[in-house]
Amino acid sequence: MTSKDLQKRIYENKVKHHFNLTNIEQEFCLLYGEVGEAYEAWLKKLGKKELGEELADVAIYLYGLAELLGYDLGDEMERKMAINEKRVYKKVNDVLVKAE
Q: How far apart are CA 9 and CA 13, in angstroms?
A: 6
Mean pLDDT of 2-10: 96
Answer yes or no: is 44 within a domain: yes
Name the domain count of the chain.
1
Q: Could you give phi then psi for residue 2, rounded to 5 degrees?
A: -80, 165
In the chain, the amino acid numbered 90 is: K
Does residue 29 sit within a domain?
yes
Which CATH number covers residue 66?
A: 1.10.287.1080
Q: What is the pLDDT of residues 14-52, one digit of tens each?
A: 999 999 999 999 999 999 999 999 999 999 998 999 999
Q: CB neighbours of 85 closer than 8 A, spacing ≥ 6?
A: none
Which three-class secondary structure string do you get for 17-75?
A: CCCCCCCHHHHHHHHHHHHHHHHHHHHCCCCHHHHHHHHHHHHHHHHHHHHHHCCCHHH
In this structure, is residue 17 part of a structural domain?
A: yes
